[in-house]
Structure 1
Amino acid sequence: MGACDIVTEANISSDIDSNATGVTAFSMPGWQLALWATAYLALVLVAVVGNATVIWIILAHRRMRTVTNYFIVNLALADLCMATFNAAFNFVYASHNIWYFGRAFCYFQNLFPITAMFVSIYSMTAIAADRYMAIVHPFQPRLSGPGTKAVIAGIWLVALALAFPQCFYSTITMDQGATKCVVAWPEDSGGKMLLLYHLTVIALIYFLPLVVMFVAYSVIGFKLWRRTVPGHQTHGANLRHLRAKKKDDIYCRKFIQQVYLVLFWLAMSSTMYNPIIYCCLNHRFRSGFRLAFRCCPWVTPTEEDKLELTHTPSLSVRVNRCHTKETLFLVGDVAPSEAANGQAGGPQDGGAYDF
C-alpha cells in the first residue's frame, strides 16, 4: 500500500523507530479483518506446508534427485519464502496501512521477498529450458551436479542484484502520524533512474522468461504432438506477472484497500499451486505426500509408495521407431548423457520425460 503524501527524511521525527499504533482511515471492522486474516492464513499454511513437503520429497530420496527436481527445489524454496515473508507481513501492513516492524525489517522486506519472487520466475524458466533439452535433444549432454548448482547460484545472484536497488532506497516515513515503509527513489531529472530500473526489471523478469518459456514449451508441445509417446505425462509452467504499483491519489480512497488485498492474495496464491499440481499429476510426488502425511488418520501409505521413491529400476525400455535411428527413453530409463552426469546428487533415474 502506498502513502498518500510521502514525507521526506527531514520531516521524520526522532521517535520514528517506535511503531505507530492507532486507528487510520484504512482500519477495517473486526469481522472483515477476521475474514481476510483467515484467507491469508490458509494461503500461507498451504504454501509453506506444501512447498516444504516438496523439498523433503526430493532431498530425502536419492531417486528424486534429478536435474529438473533440483530446479523444482529452488522454485519451492522461493515460493515458501514468498508466502512466509511477502504474503504474511504485507497483509499485516495492508490491513491498517501502518508499518509495525521497524526500520531494519523495512530493508529486509524490500530485499529478500522480492529476490525470492525473481528466483521463482527464473526457476520456472530453468525448468522449461531443462525440459526442452531433455525432450527435444535427448542425446545432448545434460547438466552435471556442479553445473546445476552453478545455475541455481547464478539465479539467486541475478535476482539479488535486481532486488537490491529497492532495498537500498527503502526508508521509513511518517504520513499523518502513521509509520510507512516506502521505496523513496532519488529525485533526478525526469525520474530517469526509476524508469531505467523498471525497464530493466520488465525486460529481465517479464519478457525474457516469458519468451524462453513460450518457445520451449511450444517446441516441446509440437514435438510431442508429432511423436506421441505412451505413458508420457506432460507438465506445463505457471507464468507469473509482476505487480506494478503506481503512486496516485487513488491510494487515498478507502475501496483501494479491498482491491489491493484481493489482487495481492491472488498473486501470492501462486506460491501454493505447484505442490498441489505435483501431488495430483505425478505419481512419485503423490507417493511422497502420502509418506510425508502418514501420521494423519486419513492417509494410508503403501509399500508401493516406499518403493516408488527408493527403488531404482535397472531395465531400460527402448522404443525403436521405423525409418529412424532415434531411441526414446521412457519413464524409469537413464539416458546415456544422464548416466555420465549422475553426480547431480544421486541416480539420474527418471528419463527424459520424468521428474
Structure 2
Amino acid sequence: MLSFPGWLLAMNADELNMTQKEHIPFEDGHFNCCSFINDGNLWTLDDSTKLVGVQVVLILAYSTIILFGVTGNSLVIYVVYKFKNLRTVTNFFIVNLAVADLLVNTLCLPFTLVYLLYDEWMFGQVLCFLLPFAQGMTVHVSTITLNIIALDRHRSIVNHMETKMSKDLCAVVIVISWALSALLASPLAIFREYGSFKLSPEESLQVCTEKWPDSSMNGKIYSFSMLVVQVVIPLLINSVAYIRIWNKLKKHMTCGRNDNQRRRKTTKMMLTMVVVFAVSWLPFHAFQLAIDIDNNVLNMKDFKLVFTVFHIMAMCSTCVNPILYGWMNNNYRTAFLSVVKCYRPLGVRYRSSKNREKQKDDDRDCTDFRSTNL
C-alpha cells in the first residue's frame, strides 16, 4: 500500500534488500531501476524527474495544489463557522471533508515534494511513521464522509424521513469516522521501517519503507483491501444512493417547487464530488495494486514519474471540492464572495422596504449572510 509517495517507498524492506543483493551491486554505484554514477561526491540519476524542466513542472503542480487546497478548504471551514445559516448537518460533514483535505495539504504534500526531489527520507524516524498514517487516515475520512452524506440524503429524500439528523448525532458520527479511519490506516504506521542503506563506504541513503511480517503477501492483501474499501465499496454505495435520489427528485420535479429544485442542485453537487474523488483516486490505487502484484513494475521506464503523475491526480481531489461549491452552489458562492470581496449579490437581497434598510446595514458591516440551507 503506497500511502506516501516516493519511488523508494514503493518497495517494502524485504524487496529493497532483495534488490540490493540480486540486482544492484552497491560497490558499482547502482541502485534499483535508476542508475547512480559515482564520480567523487557527485551522484547523477538516470531519471526524467531529475530534469530541471520536469522538476519545475512538478514543483508548480504540488505548490498549486497546496495553495488552492489550503485557501479553499480554510475558506469553507471559515464560512460555515461565520454564517449561522450555513451551520447545517450536511455542511458540518462538508467541513469534515475540508479538514481532512486541509491536513493532507499541510502535513503530507510539502514533505512529499521534498522527498520527490531528493530521493531520500530527510524527516527522521517519527515522521516516517506519522506521515503515511496521517495521509491514509485522511483519505479514509473523506470516503467515509462522502458515504455518510449520500446515505443521509437518501434517508431524507427517498425514504421521506422528515426528522433530520441532530447536530449532536452529527458530531458523534464525525468522531466515529475519524476513529474508524485511524484504525484502517494503522498498518501504515505499524508495519514500517526506518533505516539507512549504504550506497558506498562514503555514501548512505535514509529510507522509510513498508515492512510487513512474514512476507510481502500481507502488503498485497492490504493494498487490495484498501482498493475495495476506499474505492469500490464507496462508489457502489454513492452510486446507488444518488441514482435513487436523482430519480426520486426527477419524478417530483415541478416548475413551482423551489425546494425540489434546491435539493436537485445540491444532489448534483454532491454527486459531482463523488465522481471527482473516484476519478482522482482510482488510477493511483490501481497502480499501487499493480506494483504489489508484480514487482517488475518497479523496473519500468520512468516508474517514478508515472507514480508521481498518478499521485498528483489523487491529490487534486483535496483542492477541487471548494471550487465545486463555488461553481455549483449559490449559498457557498455568496458566502465566499461575502468574505473575499465583502460583496453581496442582488439575488439574495430582501425585497420588502423594511428588510431593505436592514440589508444596507448588513452590506456595510459585511458580517451577515442570508441563504437557503442545504
Shorter-chain TM-score category?
0.7 to 0.9
Report what 1:266 is aligned to. Answer: 313
Q: TM-score, normalised by structure 2?
A: 0.71
Report what 1:174 is aligned to. Answer: 196
2:229 pairs with 1:204:
yes
Give the C-alpha shift of residue 195 in structure 1. 4.6
Q: How does 1:114-129 map to 2 (within 5 A)?
A: 114-129=136-151
Give the C-alpha shift of residue 169 in structure 1. 1.3
Report what 1:38 is aligned to. Answer: 60
2:107 pairs with 1:85:
yes
2:140 pairs with 1:113:
no
After superposition, the Cα gap between the structure-2 partners of 1:282 and 1:272, relative to the gap in structure 1 and judged at 3 Å, is same
How far apart in 1 are the matches of 2:248 and 2:219? 42
Please say if residues 172 and 179 of structure 1, whose CA atoms lie closer than 8 Å, have aligned partners that are also in contact.
Answer: yes
Please say if residues 291 and 306 of structure 1, whose CA atoms lie closer than 8 Å, have aligned partners that are also in contact.
Answer: no
What secondary structure does 2:164 align onto?
coil
How far apart in 2 are the matches of 1:67 and 1:271? 21
The answer to which of 231-240 and 216-225 deviates more is 231-240
Give the C-alpha shift of residue 120 in structure 1. 0.8
2:197 pairs with 1:183:
no
Contiguous gaps of at least 5 residues in structure 2: 1-5, 22-40, 356-370
Give the C-alpha shift of residue 212 in structure 1. 1.4
Please say if residues 123 and 155 of structure 1, whose CA atoms lie closer than 8 Å, have aligned partners that are also in contact.
Answer: yes
Q: How does 1:189-228 map to 2 (within 5 A)?
A: 191=217, 193-228=218-253
Report what 2:163 is aligned to. Answer: 141
How far apart in 2 are the matches of 1:28 and 1:305? 52
Please say if residues 334 and 345 of structure 2, whose CA atoms lie closer than 8 Å, have aligned partners that are also in contact.
Answer: no
Structure 2 letter corresponding to 1:257:
K
Q: What are the superposed Cα offsets for residues 95-147 of structure 1, whole Å, 9 maximum, x if unpaired?
A: 33211111111111121111001101111111111221232234342211111
Q: What are the superposed Cα offsets for residues 270-317 of structure 1, whole Å, 9 maximum, x if unpaired?
A: 1111100100111111111112212xxxxx613759979xxxx9xxxx
How far apart in 2 are the matches of 1:219 and 1:184? 43
Identical counterparts, % of pairs: 25
Structure 2 letter corresponding to 1:286:
R
After superposition, the Cα gap between the structure-2 partners of 1:306 and 1:106, relative to the gap in structure 1 and judged at 3 Å, is farther
After superposition, the Cα gap between the structure-2 partners of 1:228 and 1:22, relative to the gap in structure 1 and judged at 3 Å, is farther
Give the C-alpha shift of residue 161 in structure 1. 0.1
Please say if residues 51 and 79 of structure 1, whose CA atoms lie closer than 8 Å, have aligned partners that are also in contact.
Answer: yes
How far apart in 2 are the matches of 1:261 and 1:196? 23
Deviation beyond 6 Å, 4+ runs, structure 1: 305-308
Please say if residues 96 and 145 of structure 2, whose CA atoms lie closer than 8 Å, have aligned partners that are also in contact.
Answer: yes
What secondary structure does 1:171 align onto?
strand
After superposition, the Cα gap between the structure-2 partners of 1:226 and 1:303, relative to the gap in structure 1 and judged at 3 Å, is closer
Q: How does 1:207-286 map to 2 (within 5 A)?
A: 207-229=232-254, 230-231=257-258, 232=261, 233=265, 234-235=268-269, 236=271, 237-238=273-274, 239-240=277-278, 241=281, 243-244=284-285, 245=288, 246=291, 248-252=295-299, 255-286=302-333
Report what 1:302 is aligned to. Answer: 344
After superposition, the Cα gap between the structure-2 partners of 1:221 and 1:306, relative to the gap in structure 1 and judged at 3 Å, is closer
2:330 pairs with 1:288:
no
Structure 2 letter corresponding to 1:265:
I
Report what 1:64 is aligned to. Answer: 86
How far apart in 2 are the matches of 1:2 and 1:31? 19
- Could you say which structure has the greater relative contact order, defined with CA pairs below 8 angstroms and 6 or more residues apart? 1
Please say if residues 107 and 167 of structure 1, whose CA atoms lie closer than 8 Å, have aligned partners that are also in contact.
Answer: yes
After superposition, the Cα gap between the structure-2 partners of 1:84 and 1:23, relative to the gap in structure 1 and judged at 3 Å, is farther
After superposition, the Cα gap between the structure-2 partners of 1:171 and 1:33, relative to the gap in structure 1 and judged at 3 Å, is same
Please say if residues 141 and 177 of structure 2, whose CA atoms lie closer than 8 Å, have aligned partners that are also in contact.
Answer: yes
Q: What are the superposed Cα offsets for residues 178-216 of structure 1, whole Å, 9 maximum, x if unpaired?
A: 22111111124x83x435434543443333322210111
What secondary structure does 2:57 align onto?
helix
Please say if residues 6 and 173 of structure 1, whose CA atoms lie closer than 8 Å, have aligned partners that are also in contact.
Answer: no
How far apart in 2 are the matches of 1:91 and 1:185? 26
How far apart in 1 are the matches of 2:208 and 2:348? 48
Report what 1:325 is aligned to. Answer: none
Report what 1:331 is aligned to. Answer: none
The answer to which of 111-120 and 171-180 deviates more is 171-180
Report what 1:132 is aligned to. Answer: 154
Structure 2 letter corresponding to 1:124:
L
Please say if residues 72 and 322 of structure 2, whose CA atoms lie closer than 8 Å, have aligned partners that are also in contact.
Answer: yes
After superposition, the Cα gap between the structure-2 partners of 1:132 and 1:94, relative to the gap in structure 1 and judged at 3 Å, is same
Q: TM-score, normalised by structure 1?
A: 0.75
Please say if residues 288 and 305 of structure 1, whose CA atoms lie closer than 8 Å, have aligned partners that are also in contact.
Answer: no
